[in-house]
Amino acid sequence: MSAPAGTLPREEQVEPRQKPRRLTELLLLVLAVGIGVGANVLVDPEQLGSGDPHLLVSGLVLGIGALVLHVVLRLRAKYADPYVLPIVVALNGLGIAMIHRIDLTTDQTAASSQVVWTAFAMTAAGLVLWFLKDHRVLRRITYICLLLSGLLLLLPLLPGLGLELNGARIWISVGGRTFQPGEVAKITLAVFFAGYLSTNRDLILLAGKKVGPVRLPRFRDMAPMFAAWIIAIGVLVFQRDLGSAILFFGLFVAMIYLATSRLSWIVIGLLLVAVGGFFASQAFGHVAARLDSWLNAFDPEVYNRAPGGSGQIVQGLFGLSSGGLFGQGLGQGRPDLVSYANSDMIMTAFGEELGLIGLSAVLVLFFLFVTRGFRAALGTRDAFGKLLAAGLSAVLVLQLFVVVGGVTRLIPLTGLTTPFMSAGGSSLLSNWIIAAIILAISHTARRPVVTGPATEADLAEVAAYEAALREAARRDDQERAERLERRRDRRPRKETDGSGEDTAQADGAQADGAQADREDGATAPRSDASDTVRRPAVSADTAATEPITAAGPGGRRDAEDADHHGGTPTEAMSRLTDQDRRDPGGSRSTENGGAS
């Protein structure tokens, strides 16, 4: 994570830890597109000579899309995580290959529409990255997002617009095309939760009566929890979609835990799931049928029951088992024997044709993706961004758990798409947007600022750094005094923040400038050494929308200063909580740091 402290030459300590690593990304993208195109060739080698445009079109979409997104990242989010985009491109390409492969044996044309949606989703991701320079903009639309979520979830219930397929009413049909608004609601709900919780988590944490060792939150602070529960149950009751219900509720439980660090929320959440699940299994035939298909999958009566029998899960298990360790090879299995093999059950198709090894590799790709998401959450400096990135990552983990757990009969099978892979435009679109948001957050996380992760080594590094600064300060005491004098004359109220406020509206170029300053300061300690330190500490963008003070060495003063100059009382409180609550001793570098 960070270099051993104290022993480093001074130059390296001040240098940015994060390089943009866009070249790494480009090379990985070549590999990822290669994997996607290669898989598309392997599923049907005969298409090479047949004039079937699928390979060319899908290859071009993947290649050009990846390249365009790469350029967008270079221009707008230079420090974004270099692994996220290649992982997503590879998963998307594999998904297209499998969908095409299943088309070949089932006379569907899902692949061409998936390619179109890929282009569309990549464009959407590009637009998000281009315009969402700072993810904290999203915080301003916290309640709009709540409204949007409700609207999106209600849409399928509207007569004339909603569409019921296979017993679930989660689609809308516009001009002959179907769309699953619930997929997008996943994002808007995450934004709402992140916004709400980053603002109110102190109230949830601190207000309320204390009963024994547990502080019970006030009801009005608990209300959103119940709202989420009601939304989940509502989805379950009115849309008959167990998978989405689990996902929405899991998202909220995960995010409230992330916001409060209290396991009790998870316990409460699980209890509510148990109560809700029991209630649902008693009250709703389709839930009971799901449970029955899970528990008694190999009962002939259950197997042959239509609809709602266990045929799908049993056939999926047969598919997985026929894949064995090494798989049948792409294009050589019979994944089409499983119903919905190209959407809900696409993991069984991969398991069959790529085997345990191949499917594990796919899972590892997902794991890397969510790990990068959590990494971005750790690295970014604002509570909202942390919650959003970690929440979106957590919801992907949960989604994979529901999908893979379902097909392996670990848990009851519920209809959920596999992110980036399953056929389905809404899923692809929303997951690409999630990837874009995580990329944007990772950019702010990895942008060069002097940060101090809380490890022993890092604390030592900070100490060494401070010692170096003191040394420099002592040497150029006189000059420094003069400089400070001049600054005080110019802006008396904001002296301690130094030039940080200058760059309040900063964009990347200015951030680069700040970095250049820092490098100067490092290679040749100057009289304004303390400014050099502080400027990157209060990063330009951080100050822009939420003047959370980042901790530089000796940064405790910054936090106090922050109170003086801006933000609503709530924001100030949340800042304090962000920065100080846990580590009032000043090593709040924990909160800021550790981006790698």
Partner 1 sequence: MNRAIRHTWVAGVAIFTVLLLALTYVQFFAARTLEAHPWNNRSLYDQFGADRGAILVDGDPKASSEPSEDDFEYQRVYADPLTYGHLTGYFSLVYGATGLEAALGEELSGASDEQFYDRVVSMFSGNQPTGASVELTIDPELQQTAADVLQGRKGSVVALDPETGAILAMVSSPGYDPNELASHDSGSVIAAAERLNADPEEPLVNRAVAGDLYAPASTFKIIDTVAALESGDYTTETLIPNPQELPLPGTDVTLPNFVGGGCTARAQADLEFALEQSCNTPFAQIALDLGEDRIRQTAQAFGYGEPLSVPLKVTPSIFPEELNDAQLALSSIGQYDVRTTPLQVAMTSAAIANDGVMMKPQLVETVRSADLSVIDAFTPEQLRRSTSADVAETVTDLMVEVVEDGIAQGAAVPGVEVAGKTGTAEIGSEEGLNDSWFTGFAPADDPQIAVAVVLEDVDVATGSTQTTTGAKQLFEAVLNK
Which residues form the interface with partner 1 (CB under 8 A)? Answer: 42, 45, 105, 254, 257-261, 298, 303, 314, 317-325, 328-329, 331-334, 337, 351, 355-356, 359-360, 363, 366-367, 370-371, 374, 377-378, 383, 386-387, 390, 393-394, 397-398, 400-401, 404-405, 408-410, 578, 582, 590-591, 594
For the chain, percent helix, then strand, then coil, each to nearest 5? 70, 5, 25
**How far apart are alpha carbons 60 and 64 in whole angstroms?**
6
Least separation in angstroms between residue 349's CB and partner 1 is 13
Task: Tell me whether residue 26 or residue 341 sits nearer to partner 1 (CB atom).
Answer: 341
Task: Tell me whether residue 228 or residue 354 sits nearer to partner 1 (CB atom).
Answer: 354
Distances (CA, A) of 480 to 5, 467, 526, 531, 532: 27, 17, 8, 10, 12
Evaluated on CA atoms 395, 396, 397, 401, the torsion sign reads: positive
Question: Nearest Cα to 264, choosing from 216, 201, 331, 206?
Answer: 216
Question: Nearest Cα to 355, choosing from 335, 374, 336, 373?
Answer: 335
Distances (CA, A) of 552 to 397, 453, 558: 34, 11, 8
Instruction: Indicate the DSSP class of residue 157.
Output: G
- For residues 403 and 161, the answer to whether their CB atoms sit within 8 Å is no
Task: Tell me whether residue 34 or residue 329 sits nearer to partner 1 (CB atom).
Answer: 329
Task: Tell me whether residue 131 or residue 298 sits nearer to partner 1 (CB atom).
Answer: 298
Least separation in angstroms between residue 386's CB and partner 1 is 5
Task: Tell me whether residue 181 or residue 391 sits nearer to partner 1 (CB atom).
Answer: 391
Segments in 180-261 forming alpha helices (H): 181-206, 219-234, 242-260
Task: Tell me whether residue 191 or residue 468 sits nearer to partner 1 (CB atom).
Answer: 191
Least separation in angstroms between residue 45's CB and partner 1 is 4
Least separation in angstroms between residue 377's CB and partner 1 is 5
Amino acid at 299: D
Least separation in angstroms between residue 390's CB and partner 1 is 5
Task: Tell me whether residue 26 or residue 204 sits nearer to partner 1 (CB atom).
Answer: 204
Least separation in angstroms between residue 201's CB and partner 1 is 9
Task: Tell me whether residue 7 or residue 570 sits nearer to partner 1 (CB atom).
Answer: 570
**How far apart are alpha carbons 596 and 582 in whole angstroms?**
22
Least separation in angstroms between residue 494's CB and partner 1 is 28
Tokens 């709400």 sit at which residue?
196
**How far apart are alpha carbons 235 and 170 in whole angstroms?**
9
Q: What is the dihedral of CA 562, 567, 569, 570, to 10 degrees?
A: -110
Task: Tell me whether residue 235 or residue 383 sits nearer to partner 1 (CB atom).
Answer: 383
Instruction: Indicate the DSSP class of residue 348.
Output: H
Least separation in angstroms between residue 219's CB and partner 1 is 23
Q: Three-class SS of residue 214?
A: strand
Least separation in angstroms between residue 401's CB and partner 1 is 5
Evaluated on CA atoms 212, 213, 218, 222, the torsion sign reads: negative
